[in-house]
Every structure is written in C-alpha cells, then in structure tokens.
A = this chain, B = another copy of it.
C-alpha cells in the first residue's frame, strides 16, 4: 500500500479542549467529523493528556480554526503537553458551558461524550452537541491542506495523519 494516498483525505483544523480540574487543557486535531444531525466524532491519541481529561470530564469543546489563526496558537496547543505546561497561558479564550473555547476561531461546538470506539492507539469519542455557535462569519475555516501548503505547518507525531 502506498501511504501517500492518505495525504489526499481532506480535513479541517480544530482545537479540542476540556478541563483538568479547573485548568483548561487541549490540543490540535484534524480528525473531527459530523456523524448524525446532533453528534460529532473526534479521534484522539491515547497518549494525549487531553484524552485522559476527556475520559474524566466526558465533555469537550471543538474550536474551528480559521485561516487567520496565529501559528503560535497551534504551536502552544499542538506541540507541547498540558501535563507540564499551561498551554492556554497565552491564548485568549471564552468560557462557554464551562469549557474553554478559542476566542479567535470561526466558532465552536460544545459536546458531551456519549459513546466511544477504541483502537490500538486512538479513541473515537462520539460527542452529542450541547451547544454551538458561529463567532466570526467572515473567517474561512482552515483546511488541513491549507495548513500544510500555505501555513507550512507540520503534524505532531500523535496525529493519525503523521507520516514519519
């Protein structure tokens, strides 16, 4: 099998966030999609601290990142661990339904984990959408292709789409 074909699947770029006690935690994900009219699924690596916290809170936010997102936001959230650092220290957030949401995003979904499917390395969390809104309808949602081609972004090694 030619692994390159996997690069032709299309995605957006999202911040998935939740809480560790009272502290906001989160990471960057591309593997997010709608399943039914009121559910979405997110794939999360077992090793991510966000995974551990989602298992506890059973609740998460999806912030939909636009093409204008600061690369620093992605660097803070995507390339360090919330176990050691306060990732949100330098990121402006809103608190919606008790969940941290990236202020400079296209919009958000707040979800409750209602089911999951486990794999060797990642968990698919099925989230029932509790709330959601457009924050800025002038922003264009960033695709994963745009992130790579235009923003020259990389994939962290826990991403399903990481090719070593």
Q: Which A residues have a C-beta under 8 Å from some C-beta of B?
A: 1-6, 8-13, 30-37, 39-41, 43, 64, 106-109, 115-117, 119-122, 124, 126, 129-134, 137, 141-145, 160-162
Contacts and interface: CB of A to CB of B under 8 A. Distances in A.
A10 B10 contact: yes
Nearest to A162: B37
A51 to B, nearest CB: 13
B9 A64 contact: yes
Contacts of A39: 119
Contacts of A124: 35, 41, 117, 124, 126
Given A35-B31, A143-B10, A126 B133 contact: no
Contacts of A109: 5-6
A108 B4 CA distance: 11
A119 B31 CA distance: 18
Contact of A8 (B6, B107, B161, B162): B107
B9 A9 contact: no
Contacts of A144: 10
A34 to B, nearest CB: 4
